[in-house]
Structure 1
Amino acid sequence: MTRPLAEVLGEVRGHLVAEESLVRAVASGRQKASQPRWRRVELRYVDLKAGRHLQVTAYDATQAHTSNHAVGADAAQAVDGLLAETFGNWHVETTTQTHQVRVTKRLDAVLSTSDRAQPVGVERGHDREKQRLLPEDDPVFRALGLTDGSGRMKPSRQAKYRQVEDFLQILDSSVSEALGSGRLRRPTAEAPLRVVDLGCGNAYLTFTAHRYLTSERGLPVAMTGVDVREQSRDHNSAVAAGLGLAAGSMEFVAGDIATVALDPAPEVVLALHACDTATDEALARAVGWEASLVLAAPCCHHDVAAQLRKAPTPAPYSSLTRHGILRERFADTLTDGLRSSLMRLEGYRVDVMQFVESQHTPRNTLLRAVRSGGSGRGDGNADVREEYDELVAAWGLRPRLGELLGR
């Protein structure tokens, strides 16, 4: 049932200023025809030497900005400022309930509230390490060989731990937004959320995504990992058995991304660092399955780079392809830009964002696509189609994803 936006935000405000019961709150998305200052904002209360403060972590396109506001008038003012931003979704967790707010196209609001099975405590520590979505002593990291016998992350595995954390942050916000907007159905024990990780490899992100969604978010999940190597299937299945994960909750199969058969079709598709056109195959499968949410972090971009070497460069852009390193970087950008346009034409809203910081890997782009409810095979946005056609014609390209989608 829709209600006046101001009325619902008033209820949200009550939860946000309740220092004793607020566990965590996240604001994200945007209202129709508007753009909030921040891409995402997280709120929690922390105990500092100066007393209890509301900690606000605001994310722009490239980094996080943290500020602390003393409980009372300062915190209330910060809350009011954030509520005045045009966020499209609010996810609020208290010690006893979870509240999900979605702003409609008519600028009304839908509020969904669910009770926790049992009350939870609140972590007030301000140490950033304590805010990890999965703590390093979680059993899943031991099973994956990332931590030692004492539950401490191995020095050689710190970069992998950071990658996992960054991915879980994106997954968390993406699932919250999709659930809040109604683009992703709310799963039940009888009908769990169907998630597939295409090209899962050693399944670090497969296992940690499953662990976070089930243990921390409390969502019923049926996860499938797909990799072409039978060795990966056997190894990952053994790890799953060691963690006590039943076949209905976690399963691994050996097969090609382009041909693997999954029935019923997955609702969330992950494709993280699938090499070159394997990312295109994953995106095409997601479209064919009509997946509600797609998170794809491309790896190498050899296909378009090779085409750029063969085709004449249109004037006046020869300086972009004359030098090998610039041509490679331009191929990366061009490939993902074309992928974004094609997914938009297939009925998805697409965000291109940073996955992990560039000092950890140069391949740090992630495409997030949320199905917007269109048919997916219509003409889509005419401007997007015209822009895509002109771009591939000017550079003489045949993008693999375009071929797979028949575009």
Structure 2
Amino acid sequence: MNKQSINKLSLFLTGLKSRFLENQNIFKGIYITFAAGLKDFKGVGSFENGKIKYNISGKTELLDFDGVVEKILKDAEKYEALSIIYKERGTDVIITADNKNVKTTTTEAKDEPSLEDNNKSYSAKAIHNLGETSTLLNRDYYIKVGKADALLKEIGIMSKEGKIKNDKIRKYNQIDHYVELLEGVLEKLPQNQVINILDCGCGKSYLTFVLNYYLTEVKKRKCHFIGLDYSEGVIEASKKMAANLGYRNMEFHAMDIHDYTPDKKIHVVISLHACDTATDMAIALGIRVESDVIIAVPCCHRELLNQYSYEPFKGILKHGILKARMADAITDGMRSMLLEAKGYEVSVVEYISPLETPKNLMIRALKVKDENPDAMDEYINLMSSLNVYPSLYAFVNQVY
């Protein structure tokens, strides 16, 4: 290639270097094809410990990005044309160059062919699972079959052949609705910085992996995920899944929520089906670190059941099942009240159908203002009226 084209190519490669240095966690690989006559010569670079493992002509070297650029430019002098595909999660940057022109385009990554027909075939088919019917819905999914296949296979929803498993259609619909419920809240987060998301009691982190995919590869947002769980087994499983997917913007720690002290600004705190007061630990942590968003899908509610009493409802609460249901409503209602007192705008919505599980509420909280003393007084007065002392109040005030 002539000197003029190589100079232009150098400028484009400088842009790739900036992309790599700015967000190397989403870099997947760089693929170079040099052309001379009818022959092609290929080079491949993959990520390894902050550098690029670059192989061409049977020789492999571990280089920084400047080293890769230097090699590409030097080799370009010997060939008539080249093409470069710089792959990120969700995005391909393509550079083509010859002696006449150098061009670059950015496209949505297409790692696998579209499986749109797969959706169509299932949407007309009823699948019976535990006596209920689950089908793929007639909707534009947020987590799309085809584009998200690697993720869906890793979390066990899709078969190796690229089909949504019959017994996982319900789960697929649930995770997609989860993203739908969070999208509007997450859109309000700061746009020009890395969003740090803390998953408390993360378990196997399936929904966090889904959220990682959506924010990174669909919304093109820079994000970092931290998963906490006291079980070393599930933490190791999450680490393995992250490695399999190449999700380097994730870290996992086997530890109690109480023992975690963040070393960076936390923008989102998530707690999904954490049992009983573990949900309160997560919400309290979010409040203390002034997280912009707190999302909780509570599980069991045992704490207030044996605490609360309300004389006007004596005739109702003598029925155990009604007292238990009232305890559920009081627990999540008081969680919402305390969040509002701490300056959060709160909405409580159904996460999934009550036919799936009665524990189907999602609490969404967005920090919009400073603490509201009047709302806090109302919360404390309610504590007195119901004769309850919720763990959330204790955790917020670090009284363990």
Q: Does TM-score exceed 0.5, indicating one fold?
A: yes
Q: Deviations over 1:131-180 (max 9, x none)?
A: 1100244211101122111222222222322221121011112112x2xx
Q: Report the Cα distance in structure 1 between the residues aligned to 2:264 and 2:324, rounded to whole angstroms.
A: 39
Identity value in percent? 30
In the alignment, what sits opposite 1:29? none
Asked if the contact 2:205/2:238 (under 8 Å) is kept, the reply is yes
Q: How far did residue 319 of structure 1 move?
A: 3.3
Equivalent of 2:353 in 331, 350, 357: 357
Q: Report the Cα distance in structure 1 between the residues aligned to 2:169 and 2:109, rounded to whole angstroms.
A: 29
* Structure 2 spans left out of the alignment, 5+ residues: 1-104, 111-115, 124-136
Q: Report the Cα distance in structure 2 between the residues aligned to 1:262 and 1:390, rounded to whole angstroms.
A: 33
In the alignment, what sits opposite 1:167? 178
Q: How far did residue 206 of structure 1 move?
A: 0.9
Q: Looking at CA atoms only, which structure, 1 or 2, has the larger radius of gyration?
A: 2
In the alignment, what sits opposite 2:211? 209
Q: Report the Cα distance in structure 2 between the residues aligned to 1:172 and 1:350, rounded to whole angstroms.
A: 15
Asked if the contact 2:285/2:396 (under 8 Å) is kept, the reply is no
TM-score (norm 2): 0.63
Paired residue type of 2:154 = A
Asked if the contact 1:159/1:360 (under 8 Å) is kept, the reply is no
In the alignment, what sits opposite 1:143? 154
Distance 1:117 1:305, change over 3 A: farther
Paired residue type of 2:271 = A
Equivalent of 2:313 in 317, 330, 352: 317
Q: Report the Cα distance in structure 2 between the residues aligned to 1:130 and 1:212, rounded to whole angstroms.
A: 17
In the alignment, what sits opposite 2:275? 275
Q: How does 1:227-376 map to 2 (within 5 A)?
A: 227-246=229-248, 249-308=249-308, 313-374=309-370, 376=371
Provide the secondary structure at the position in 1 that maps to 2:382: helix
C-alpha RMSD over aligned residues: 2.4
Q: Report the Cα distance in structure 1 between the residues aligned to 2:390 and 2:108, rounded to whole angstroms.
A: 51
In the alignment, what sits opposite 1:134? 143
Distance 1:117 1:268, change over 3 A: farther
Equivalenced residues, count: 270
Q: How far did residue 350 of structure 1 move?
A: 1.0
Distance 1:130 1:352, change over 3 A: closer
* Structure 1 spans left out of the alignment, 5+ residues: 1-115, 179-183
Asked if the contact 2:334/2:379 (under 8 Å) is kept, the reply is yes
Equivalent of 1:403 in 367, 391, 394: 394
TM-score (norm 1): 0.62
Distance 1:147 1:118, change over 3 A: closer
Equivalent of 2:192 in 180, 187, 192: 187
Paired residue type of 2:191 = R
Q: Report the Cα distance in structure 1 between the residues aligned to 2:390 and 2:316, rounded to whole angstroms.
A: 19
Q: How far did residue 404 of structure 1 move?
A: 1.6
Asked if the contact 2:228/2:255 (under 8 Å) is kept, the reply is yes
Asked if the contact 2:271/2:296 (under 8 Å) is kept, the reply is yes
Provide the secondary structure at the position in 2 that maps to 1:157: helix
In the alignment, what sits opposite 1:100? none
Paired residue type of 2:243 = A
In the alignment, what sits opposite 1:76? none
In the alignment, what sits opposite 1:20? none
Paired residue type of 2:382 = L
Q: Report the Cα distance in structure 1 between the residues aligned to 2:180 and 2:288, rounded to whole angstroms.
A: 27
Provide the secondary structure at the position in 2 that maps to 1:223: strand
Q: Report the Cα distance in structure 2 between the residues aligned to 1:362 and 1:119, rounded to whole angstroms.
A: 40
Asked if the contact 1:195/1:267 (under 8 Å) is kept, the reply is yes
